[in-house]
Amino acid sequence: MSKTVTVTGAAGAIGYAILFRIASGQMLGPDEKLRLKLLEIEPALKAAEGTAMELYDCAFPLLESIDITADPKEAFDGANVCLLIGARPRQRGMERADLLEANGQIFKPQGQAINDHAADDVRVLVVGNPANTNCLIAMNNAPDVPRERFSAMTRLDENRAVSMLAQKLNVGVEDIRDLVVWGNHSPTMFPDLFNARVKGQRAVDLVEMEWYENEYIPRVGKRGAEIIEARGASSAASAANAAIDHVRDWMLGADSLHSMAVASNGEYGVEEGLVSSFPVRLSGGGEYEIAEGLEVGDFARSKLEITVGELKEERDAVKQLGLIG
Ligand code: NAI
């Protein structure tokens, strides 16, 4: 049996960086045959066709077919894995409410189409920003799909946090385990060094609190902006890489805690229903479990309150706009 993978925003920068890796088997494993469905807006269909030509030209043994469409119903028909990457970027002069509304117009119908047309075992990863709230909108518009099937991406933030800590401590990235970020995929996110381990030691014990609070946390949070400043374009290959990590570990399992933004059941005092990044255990098969019983002291609690407060504001704004019930 092959899997149907739907990718939205397929003609964009992340789309171009991720499709070849999916088709080569890096996301679902070397034995899983794939049917790709690419969703784009009309003006970008031709560019998506160009990408599809290149995918065929790679002669990937796992790739069975590619369909390209501007119709969400067609794109999500029978989808087992959906990567919702396409989104409306913030433009000059756009208020946050305008951004949420513009994206709501994308993620509401996509949620409905997933509800009505995707496969029974569908799993959804939202990458397009504002990712947590776009995920909240899609999830709330797919009432027949269990909410554990929806997630938003904070794995890039985690990967950035791991890499920056490894450089600071002069260790390998593989020496760092259980480093997760909490909350919103935004500069308010909280990278947690209290529960992270470096060669078995608590990471927070290996750094100065001053550095952690005033350098590390802001730098991880603002890494996206730093990349735009340097590259003149937002992170694409590293975002694609993180999306591959996220889905691969969700489907195939991982032996460390990782970060996934998922619907809260009230864990750690995060209001029920918000899509917040949590530490998750991944046993494979598209299941996750929010890790309970981790240390959340006063410092972490105060950071968590800020980032979850932002999620609440976004949730209230999209509720007011009628994008969620
Ligand atoms: P891009 O602008 O290069 O590509 C976006 C693509 O989405 C375009 O081809 C556009 O035509 C398409 N699109 C727009 N509306 C669509 C719709 N309704 N249906 C299908 N396709 C649609 O942007 P890029 O660099 O690929 O980034 C995509 C998104 O990912 C952005 O929202 C960006 O902010 C976000 N992002 C999220 C990260 C995360 O860690 N969660 C990291 C990096 C980027």
Task: Give per-10-residue mean pLDDT for the chain (325 aa).
Answer: 96 98 98 98 98 98 98 98 94 82 95 98 98 98 98 98 98 98 97 98 98 98 93 95 98 98 98 98 98 97 98 96 93
**97 belongs to an annotated ligand binding site:** no
Q: Is the CB of 179 under 6 A from ligand 1?
A: no
With a 6 Å cutoff on the Cβ, whether 156 touches ligand 1 is: yes
Active site residue 246: no
Cα–Cα distance, 254 to 249 (Å, whole number)? 5
Span 154-317: which CATH code?
3.90.110.10
Tell whether ligand 1 has an atom less than 6 A from the beta carbon of residue 221.
no
Domain-by-domain residue ranges, the chain? Answer: 3-152, 154-317
pTM beyond 0.90? yes
Which ligand 1 atom sits closest to the C-alpha of 156?
40
What residue owns the CA closest to ligand 1's atom 8?
Answer: 12
Minimum-distance ligand 1 atom for the alpha carbon of 235: 43
Ligand 1, pocket-test mutation among 39, 234, 241, most atoms within 8 A of CB: 234
Whether 12 has a binding-site annotation, put simply, is yes
Give the CATH fold of the 3-152 domain: Rossmann fold (3.40.50)
pLDDT score, position 89: 82
Q: What is the pLDDT of residue 95?
A: 81
State if residue 8 touches ligand 1 by the CB under 6 angstroms criterion: yes
